[in-house]
Structure 1
C-alpha cells in the first residue's frame, strides 16, 4: 500500500487534496498539509454531509472521507499538490449513498461472478468565455466544425497542455479533436478497470476546468450548453473480462458481431433497464435537451432517443463497433463519474443473471428511419420521467442499494421541483398577453 507521507517526501508534495464526489457530481475537497496526511490517511478528513448534495441533515454526525492511497494523482499543473479520491464513512460504516461506495459495491458483485468490468469514456466539453455566455473562439463558426484543424489549433495551448498532463500521468491518451459543435472538443485516453476509469474521469473534469481557467476560459461539460448545437455526450465503451483481466469474456468470433453470449446478456440488461438508467446517465433537466433535441446546425444530434442497438452505426443508443465490446451512447457530460460506471455494471449483471435478450438489432439510420421502429421503448422525455422510471425499477434500485436509490430519487425530485417552480422568460414572452 502506498505510504502517503513517503510519497510526499519523494514527489515534493506540500498538500494533499482529499476529494469526494456527491450525488449531483459536485467535487468536494479539503486541502491537507503533507505533514498531517498520516493521520488523515488513517482517520479520514471530516465533512458535514448536509453542506453538500447528499441526503443528510445538519444533525448527522461527522462524515469522514478516507483517502484511497493507491489512487493518488500528483497534479501536473500544480505538482506540489496531490489529489486523493476518497471513500465516505460515517460511524465506522460506509455511507451507502456515497457514489464511490456505490461503484465499489458493483465491482465487488462482478468479482463474485468472476468478472472484471473495463471501460473507457469519450469526454466532450465546450470552451466558453469566462462568463459562460458564448463560445470563446469568435472564428469557430463553421456549419460542420467537426475535426476542423484550424479550430483545434486555435485552442492548441489548452488541449495540448491537458494531453501532455495525461501523457505524464500514464493514461495513454490517443486522440484529441474538435467535435461536432462550435467550441466543442473531445479527448480520449486508454480504457481501464471501472474504478480507475471513474477516478480518472473525475480528475479529468477537474483538470480541464482548471487548465481552461488558467488560460482565461471556462470549460463546461453541461449536456446542452448552446441551443441549436450538438450537446456534450460521454460515451462509454464497455467490455467484461475474466477475473485475471486478461481474457475478454465478451469476445467470441463465432457469434454475431463477435459478441459472446455473456456479452449479449450484459447488453440485454442495459436494454432492459435503459429507461431507468437514464436518471443516472442523464441526470439533469438540461440532459433531455440533448437526447430529445431537434436536428442541430451540423445536421445531427449524435444522441439517441430510442432504446435500440446496432453494429457499427452511431445513430443508436448502443453500437457494437468491434468484437468483444460495445459503446453506450446515452450518457452525457453531467453524468456522475462513479454512478455512471455503477449503473452500467448493475444493469449488465442483472442482464447476465436473467439471461436477458437485447432484442432485435437494427441497422437503419435512426435519425432518418427511426419512425419505422414501432416496438422499441422511447427514452424519457424529461428528468421527471426518468426519475419515475428509475423509481419503478425495483431490481435496479436494489442492486445499487435501496438507501442510495431513495436518497437519489429524493434529491433529484427536489431538483425537478425547483426547476418547475422557476418562471422563465419563455413563459413571459408567450403568455403575458393572454
Structure 2
C-alpha cells in the first residue's frame, strides 16, 4: 500500500488516547458503535478533544439509530474503548474506536457490544475464554448494486478462479495489505463460489477482539471498494441463482490463560472434549432461535433455504445437523479442539453473532446438553434420509418466533436486549410483509 507508518499497535498498552494521537499524528477519531441491525454509527471527533470523549463519551440520539429508544430518551453516550483503537491504513490521520453505550450512567442493555461484553464476563466467571475466527464473504458490485462489477466473471464454477481474483487484485490486495499492516495475520484470500464473490481470512482471537475486527473489516472493505469505484455488499443473497454470502464462525474454548484448549481431547470422537461436546449441544439445542441472530434479515432466508445454485451447491445449511469434516451440515468438526458454525451469513451483527454463540454454548455446558447423533451424509443429496434434524426456520418471522419461545436463550442474551431485538425486527418483518412487490403484480394481477 505504500503507507509511511507502522499500523501495528499494542492495543493493550493504549490507555491515553490524547497521547496516542500525538505519537501517531492522528487528526481525527471515529467514535463508533454498532446498533441492533448491525449498522455502524460514528462521530468524527478532533484529536484535540478525544481525552474528553474518552472520559465522558460522544453524545448520540439513540432513536436516530436502530435501537428501541424514543426521541424523549436522554443522550446516549458512546464511550470509546481505547484498547480497540485502529489507525486507518488507507487514511492514517484517522483512527477508529469501538465504543460502549451508556445512558444516565448505566450500560445500555440492548447495545450489541455491551451484550457481548456481559457474556464474555459470564464465561470468565466459569473459567471459560472463548476464541473465534470468522470467514466473511462479500460481493464486489456496481455502484447501483444491481450487478457484479466484473463482466468477465461468468464461469459456472467460479470458486478459486485465479483470473477473476487477479482482475480484482487492486481491491483485494489493498484490503489484505491493510490487515497485514494492522497485525491481524491474514492468511488467505480467494474468489468464492458465486460470480463476483470473495472471502478473506485472518487469525482467530478472543471473541470481543474478533467482533471489533469484524466490525472494522466491514467498514474497511466498503471504504476501499468505494475508493476503487466499486461497492462491497455483505447482503446474504444479492443475486438469484448464485451462492449467498456466509460468515462461518470457528469456535474454541480455552482456560483463562488462553493456553490450554478445553475443547481438545484426542481420546474423544473427532478430538472434541466432553465440554466441547456440551457446548456444541447448546448450539444444536438453540439452533432455531440462533437463526434470528445469525440470519437477521428477510433476505437471509433466501440463502439458507435456497434451491441449488449455478455452481451446483448452496454451501449453506437448512437443517440442524452436525458432522465431521463435511461442509453440507450446519456444524462441522474439521479437526480436534474446534468446530465451525456454518449458519451465520454476511448480515449477522458482528457482536450479536459472537454473543449468541457464547449464550448457547454456556447453556449447553450448564445443562450438559447432548448434540445428538452425528451425521456424515451429503445433506444436499441425501438430506431427506436424515430424520433426527429439525429444519431451520423458513423465514425471518419463524426465526423471531423461535427466539421468542426460547426463554432460556432470551434470558441469557438479556431481557432488555431480547425485548428490543424482537420488537424492532418484528417491525421490520411487518414492513416487508406489507410491501407491494412486483411478484404479486406478475402473478396475481389477472386472478
Shorter-chain TM-score tier: over 0.9
Which of 144, 147, 150 is 1:134 aligned to? 147
Partner in structure 1 of residue 65 of structure 2: 52
CA distance in 2, matches of 1:76, 1:124: 21
Partner in structure 2 of residue 338 of structure 1: 351
CA distance in 1, matches of 2:388, 2:84: 45
Structure 1 residue 374: Cα displacement: 1.3
What do the CA deviations read for 1:298-349 (whole angstroms, capped 9, x no partner)? Answer: 0000000000000000000000000000000000000000000000000000
Structure 1 residue 375: Cα displacement: 2.1
Which of 254, 260, 263 is 1:241 aligned to? 254
Alignment partner of 1:73 is 2:67: no
Alignment partner of 1:28 is 2:38: no
Alignment partner of 1:303 is 2:316: yes
RMSD of the TM alignment (CA)?
A: 0.4
Q: SS at 1:174's partner residue?
A: strand
Partner in structure 1 of residue 11 of structure 2: none
Structure 1 residue 2: Cα displacement: 1.8
Alignment partner of 1:152 is 2:165: yes
What do the CA deviations read for 1:156-182 (whole angstroms, capped 9, x no partner)? Answer: 000000000000000000000000000
What do the CA deviations read for 1:62-100 (whole angstroms, capped 9, x no partner)? Answer: 000000001100011110000000000000000000000
CA distance in 1, matches of 2:256, 2:271: 20
Alignment partner of 1:209 is 2:230: no
Which of 103, 106, 112 is 1:99 aligned to? 112
Which of 238, 247, 261 is 1:225 aligned to? 238
CA distance in 2, matches of 1:85, 1:348: 25
CA distance in 1, matches of 2:205, 2:389: 32
CA distance in 2, matches of 1:35, 1:389: 48
What do the CA deviations read for 1:227-259 (whole angstroms, capped 9, x no partner)? Answer: 100000000000000010000000000000000
Alignment partner of 1:165 is 2:175: no
Alignment partner of 1:38 is 2:51: yes
Where do 1:415-434 residues align within 5 Å? 415-434=428-447
CA distance in 2, matches of 1:316, 1:284: 21
Alignment partner of 1:273 is 2:296: no
What do the CA deviations read for 1:33-79 (whole angstroms, capped 9, x no partner)? Answer: 00000100000000000000000000000000000001100011110
Partner in structure 1 of residue 123 of structure 2: 110
CA distance in 2, matches of 1:135, 1:56: 37
CA distance in 1, matches of 2:138, 2:389: 30
Alignment partner of 1:397 is 2:414: no
What do the CA deviations read for 1:87-125 (whole angstroms, capped 9, x no partner)? Answer: 000000000000000000110010000010000000100
Structure 1 residue 403: Cα displacement: 0.7
Partner in structure 1 of residue 388 of structure 2: 375
CA distance in 2, matches of 1:58, 1:5: 32
Q: SS at 2:440's partner residue?
A: helix
